């Protein structure tokens, strides 16, 4: 029964005892397997470099929402030490939590915004963005007057602003109330907090970039490389869920500067805006400026038809 089914083997001589043949072939196969395994180890040796940058503690770290206060303190101490070691900067990383009774909302007066891009720059500095790629959470679209179709806009405009026939539309994370980015994340690395801010646990994100594909406002950024920020330019005033220097390979986004706003300050982009086009505040506060604008101006939201329910409004005077 056996031989009829065998593959023809030119090397096996019928006179040789089967066992001897077997051992020889086994030895040859073993040698090849060892060779292959050795070559594989050599091929993936750059991984050793990567492994050195990930400590065991970081590897084992649990999801942000599952850390006990002691664990959080340990994590933060570790991150501060890493900032010192890798960037040479003394930073303070806080764990700012939402203030009960707040729901942050942003609005921009498009009649006033003149496209100077100071907000883009302020974000870049405030949030310790990678210097090489000139990263920022804000993009300003230069739009021809007379259309709302972003297809007609340009984000790479140059020259003196404002131009007569244009208006300017700054876009950043809209902190959607129905955020598609949160829905798609396979590991719950991104979620919406009680004050409306959508955050990312940079130590839990696996870098699949599904959220980047899902966001309709181009609000998310991926760390394609380890961010480079000179020690003297690092903003030391940081928070775990916002502007601490991000690890490589994870996604990040605008957090309405929660390390400022949850401490009663205004977002960096608003403070930098020379025209006063930006208004920020707590919509639950009846006396707030933002509340007055939403009640009295004709505001609109971007891509309303998608049902993402942005907490970010635009209006004209």
Partner 1 sequence: MSSITAPPGENESHVTSYPRFLGRSLWLATEGSLAFYAWMTVLTALFLVGANAWANQVAGGMIGTNMTDHVSWGLYIANFTFMVGLAAGGVMMVIPAYLYRDRKMHDVVIIGELLAIAAIVMCLMFVIADLGRPDRFWHMMPVIGKFNFPISMLTWDVIVLNGYLLLNLHICGYLLYMRYLGRKPNPVWYVPFVMLSIVWAISIHTVTAFLYCGLGGRPFWNTALLAPRFLASAFVSGPAFIIVSMVLIKRVTGVGGLDQPIATLTKIVRVTILINLLMVTSELFTEFYTGGSHTSAAKYLFFGLHGKTALVPWIWTAIGLNITAALLLLWPGLLELRRRPLLVAACCMAFVGAWIEKGMGLIVPGFIPSTLHEIVEYVPSQLEWKVTVGIWAFGLMVFTIAIKTALPTLRHPAEH
Q: Which of residues 283-302 bind partner 1 (CB under 8 A)?
A: none
- Rank residues 111 and 147 by Cβ distance to partner 1 and give the closer one: 147
Query: What's CA 88's distance to the chain center, in Å?
Result: 23
Q: Which of residues 128-187 bind partner 1 (CB under 8 A)?
A: 139, 141, 149-151, 153, 155-156, 171, 180, 183-187
- Rank residues 94 and 210 by Cβ distance to partner 1 and give the closer one: 210
The reply to whether 122 sits near ligand SF4 by the rule CB under 6 A is no
Q: Which of helix, strand or coil describes residue 110?
A: coil
- Considering only 210, 248, 249, 271, the residue that binds ligand SF4 (CB under 6 A) is 210
- Considering only 115, 153, 170, 179, the residue that binds ligand SF4 (CB under 6 A) is 179
Q: Which of residues 241-260 bind ligand SF4 (CB under 6 A)?
A: 251, 253
Closest CB 223 distance from ligand SF4, rounded Å: 10
The tokens for 274 are 């020379």
Q: Which of residues 19-78 bind partner 1 (CB under 8 A)?
A: 25, 29, 36, 39-40, 43-47, 49-51, 54, 59, 63
Q: What DSSP line would sit under 23-83, residue for residue? A: HHHHHHHHHHHHHHHHHHHHHTTHHHHHHHHS-HHHHHPPPGGG--HHHHHHHHHHHHHHH
Residue in this structure with the two tokens 């329910």, named with its chain if needed = 309
The reply to whether 215 sits near ligand SF4 by the rule CB under 6 A is yes
- State the Cα–Cα distance between residues 284 and 73, nearest whole angstrom: 32
Q: Which of helix, strand or coil describes residue 99?
A: coil
The tokens for 228 are 């480079």
Largest CA distance in the chain: 101
Q: Which residues bind ligand SF4 (CB under 6 A)?
A: 173-176, 179-181, 184-185, 187, 189-190, 198, 200, 205-211, 215, 217, 219-220, 251, 253, 308
């Amino acid at each position: 029964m056996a031989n009829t089914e065998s593959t023809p083997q030119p090397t096996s001589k019928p006179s040789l005892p089967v066992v001897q043949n077997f051992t020889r072939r086994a030895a040859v196969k073993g040698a090849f397997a060892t060779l292959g395994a050795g070559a594989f180890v050599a091929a993936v040796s750059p991984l050793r470099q990567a492994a050195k940058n990930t400590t065991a503690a970081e590897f084992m770290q649990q999801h942000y929402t599952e850390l006990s206060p002691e664990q959080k303190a340990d994590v933060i101490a570790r991150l501060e030490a890493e900032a010192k070691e890798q960037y040479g900067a003394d930073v303070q990383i806080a764990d700012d939590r939402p203030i009960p009774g707040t729901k942050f909302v942003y609005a921009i007066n498009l009649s006033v915004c003149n496209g100077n891009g100071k907000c883009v720059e302020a974000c870049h500095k405030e949030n310790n963005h990678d210097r090489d790629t000139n990263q920022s959470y804000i993009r300003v679209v230069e739009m021809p007057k007379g259309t709302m179709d972003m297809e007609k806009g340009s984000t790479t405009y140059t020259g003196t602003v404002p131009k007569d026939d244009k208006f300017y539309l700054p876009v950043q994370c809209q902190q959607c109330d129905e955020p598609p980015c949160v829905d798609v994340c396979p590991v719950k690395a991104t979620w919406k907090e009680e004050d409306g801010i959508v955050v990312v646990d940079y130590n839990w994100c696996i870098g699949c970039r599904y959220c980047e594909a899902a966001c309709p406002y181009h609000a998310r950024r991926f760390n394609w490389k380890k961010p480079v920020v000179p020690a003297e330019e690092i903003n030391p005033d940081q928070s775990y869920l916002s502007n601490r220097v991000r690890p490589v390979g994870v996604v990040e986004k605008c957090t309405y500067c929660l390390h400022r706003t949850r401490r009663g300050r205004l977002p960096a982009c608003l403070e930098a805006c020379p025209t006063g086009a930006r208004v920020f505040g707590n919509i639950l506060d009846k006396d707030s400026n933002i509340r007055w604008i939403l009640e009295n101006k004709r505001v609109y939201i971007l891509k309303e038809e998608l049902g993402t329910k942005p907490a970010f409004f635009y209006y004209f005077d």
